[in-house]
Amino acid sequence: MIRLAVILLIIGIIAAALGLGGLGGMLMNVGYVLLAVGVVLVLVHFITRKV
């Protein structure tokens, strides 16, 4: 999930640089949300794992 988020962020930056601001902004927002969800899931996993 985090890999997909980073890929979408990079594609969004490239799209914005090429003049596709709407598409770039949307991809960057989706990437940011996926990154946030991935980080939260990783933190929950590390907090709740059994020792």
The pTM assigned to this predicted structure is 0.74
Instruction: Sort 11 into a burial class: Cβ within 10 Å, 0-12 / 13-18 / 19+.
Output: middle
Domain boundaries, the chain: 2-48
The SS3 call for residue 50 is coil
Quote the pLDDT of residue 21.
83
Tally of CB atoms within 10 A around 26: 14
Classify residue 51 by its DSSP letter.
-
Sequence-separated (6 or more) residues with CB below 8 Å from residue 7? 31
pLDDT band at 50 (very low <50, low <70, confident <90, very high): low
Confidence (pLDDT) at 40: 93
> Model confidence at 28, in pLDDT bands (50, 70, 90)?
confident
Residue 46 has a pLDDT of: 92
